[in-house]
Chain A
């Protein structure tokens, strides 16, 4: 079997390598780059990665056009001297902006160029002020907008938004990040715990049943197979404060004080999310464990029962050790799945309890802050690595067997 590969075999792996590179390695690398920048898509001065100075040329042109638009209205309000002043202003502005009439993107700008633009804006500002002072009694159109337009023109000179490790420093002081981390851990640990417990119980029961197991297996697969976003919506309805039957049932059983708490209170939403997750993935866990149980040689059980071992002893002495390899792998994957939970909570409560994925999504998509969003997802990435390491090194999960 050990054969070395040539370029022929390499070609077979190439498509995989390409897809992995573009859709996994490249995003990780790019996120790393983003994390060093104050990169916010909803802010024109920071909506790209600027390592050097830039001029937001379209906006510079637009603002200049607006200055001239207001100046033109003022032509009829002043005397001839004023008209000449305004005409000269208009001419200078036009000259400054006309090179950018067709610009669609920010243009690179040298330090010298930046100084020139700033000086130009200051010059125009002064001349507008002079104009206003010359005509104190006239209500000039330019007066209303000149300041904010010139401020905006100033802001079109965009410096570098490279911030180095600032984003990471911010993460260290971000209480919301740590509360999201805590929520994520609570959600993960509790839901995986119950999935394991109930899943194990079911697997043991199913392992004994022969008749009817087909039905149980089919029914188990349905919650697992339907989209999480759809099942979360189903649960939103079941939990609804007014029309939700589960909310009502829980209230009548005395589990919650009133039906709306499931989707509004902090502990309610956490419980709601965990129950929905346990409902959806316990059957999956049970099937995994069942498969593990079924490859255990029954001869071992028989010799145990001959030795007079009770069911609990048999379980601990025989079943558990033999099940351990598949158990750990199943647990690892479930833990990581739960850790990155997004669909379920995004749909169920539109974001409470706020987990890391939810927080990252809100920062990236909601606030358009790709820079800090990248810091958060990279932190998640590190957490995932730590969890995997914990399973492999401490618990001894075997992931790659040759």
Chain B
């Protein structure tokens, strides 16, 4: 596993850092942040300024307005945030449970077909999601599960593989001796996972939860096809439904974007360490 903090402490090299590098970093930060800034700026402009040939590129609105926010709130953009919360929470809860159970077995036992199973999980994380759209639509139609929160189960294809992957990496790092001591105390498999492994692997579990939550939050295709009803639209689908053909109301769309980005921003600010650990745990070998 990566040990960002440890290696940094080994040899601080800040002294050799040159101004050119700082310039590169500053430019990078500017490019990363600029689209968000521009969206924020536009969201306060009235329509006449957004479309006006002379006013479209002004940094500050001449007549700043909150009307874009009022309109999108009226149009119920918050209900899509609520849906995203519900869908992502359900997904996170069951994916963490299922992934930790199987990851424990995969990390601690060898059995026939284990490599096959690992390969399968890996394969699923690679395959084109488009493949499940048709069959799962028909399945949900037959089970009368369209336009419901059952969509969360279908999210397992995009969240479960990486969840298992991260968990296995974390579980493997727990020394076996701890379990052996627990086994002498008479712990069964279930108790072993919940009372012994889980607490020790808590950071890993948490990382998995955050990664799963973000992946579910960002899902677009499955909600678009399985939940065509507006009442179940999540953020990515709902915000695109604001597009219209006769007029693209950028004021409303930018205001809605600002609103729906806030939850993501909070998550990134609070949990960036866990996210970085989650991103890198699949790719970096110990």
Classify A-B as touching or not with yes or no (CB < 8 A).
Answer: yes
Once the chains bind, are A12 and B102 in contact (CB under 8 Å)? Answer: yes
Given contacts A15-B101, A229-B236, contact A201 B24 (CB under 8 A): yes
Residues of A within 8 A of B243 (CB): 233
**Interface stretch (choices B62-70, B125-133, B201-209):** B125-133
Q: For B218, what are the chain A residues with a Cβ–Cβ distance below 8 Å?
A: 225-229
> CB within 8 Å of B: which of A144-203?
201-202
State how many angstroms separate the Cβ of B70 from the closest Cβ of chain A.
Answer: 20
> Which residues from B are CB-within-8-Å of A370?
134, 138
Asked whether A109 is an interface residue with its Cβ less than 8 Å from the other chain, the reply is no
Asked if B195 is an interface residue, CB under 8 A from chain A, the answer is: no
Per the 8 Å Cβ criterion, residues 237-286 of B in contact with A are 237, 239-240, 243, 248, 250, 253-254, 257, 260-261, 264-265, 267-269, 272, 275-276, 279-280, 282-286
Checking A20, A206, A364 against B120 with a beta-carbon cut-off of 8 angstroms, the contacting residue is A20
State which of B118, B239, B275 has its C-beta within 8 Å of the C-beta of A230.
B239
**A16 CB within 8 Å of chain B:** yes
A295 with B128: CB separation less than 8 A: no
**Which A residues are in CB contact (< 8 Å) with B221?**
342-343, 361
Asked if B250 contacts A240 (CB within 8 A), the reply is yes
Partner of B10 from A298, A326, A333, A398 at Cβ < 8 Å: A298
Q: Per a CB cutoff under 8 Å, which of B13, B31, B33, B239 touches A208?
A: B13
Q: Are A223 and B134 in contact (CB under 8 A)?
A: no
Q: A399 touching B122 by the CB < 8 A rule?
A: yes
Please tell me if B199 contacts chain A, counting CB pairs below 8 Å: no
Q: Which of B98, B268, B286 contacts A225 (CB 8 A)?
A: B268
B105 contact set on A, CB distance < 8 A: 5, 9, 12-13
Whether A218 sits at the interface, judged by CB under 8 Å, is: yes
Rounded to whole Å, the gap between the CB of B42 and the closest CB of chain A is 7
- Chain A 1-24, CB within 8 Å of chain B: the 1/0 string? 111110011001101100110111
Task: Return the chain A residue nearest B11 by Cβ.
Answer: A298
What is the minimal beta-carbon distance from B163 to any residue of chain A, in angstroms? Answer: 10
Chain A residues with a Cβ closer than 8 Å to the other chain, count: 100
Say if the beta carbon of B35 comes within 8 Å of chain A: yes
Query: In the docked arrangement, what's the CA distance between A228 and B264, Å?
Result: 12
CB within 8 Å for A19 and B38 given contacts A30-B135, A229-B237, A298-B11: no
* Minimum Cβ distance to chain A for residue B154 (Å): 6
**Of A77-85, A112-120, A264-272, A286-294, which binds chain B?**
A286-294
Whether A27 contacts B135 by the Cβ 8 Å rule is yes
Q: How far is the CA of A259 from the CA of B203 in the complex (A)?
A: 48
Q: Within 8 Å of chain B (Cβ to Cβ): is A210? A: yes
User: Within 8 Å CB of A5, what residues of B?
Assistant: 105, 109, 111
**Residue of B8, B267, B280 contacting most chain A CB atoms (<10 Å):** B280
Instruction: Give the chain B neighbours of A248 by CB distance below 8 A.
Output: 57
> What distance in Å separates the Cβ of A131 from its nearest Cβ neighbour in chain B?
43
Look across to chain A and name the residue whose beta carbon is closest to the beta carbon of B163: A16
A sample of 18 cross-chain residue pairs with beta-carbon separation below 8 angstroms, ordered by A number, consists of A1-B176, A12-B105, A12-B189, A22-B139, A23-B157, A30-B138, A34-B134, A210-B14, A221-B272, A225-B218, A226-B218, A227-B219, A242-B51, A279-B32, A279-B35, A294-B7, A343-B236, A388-B126
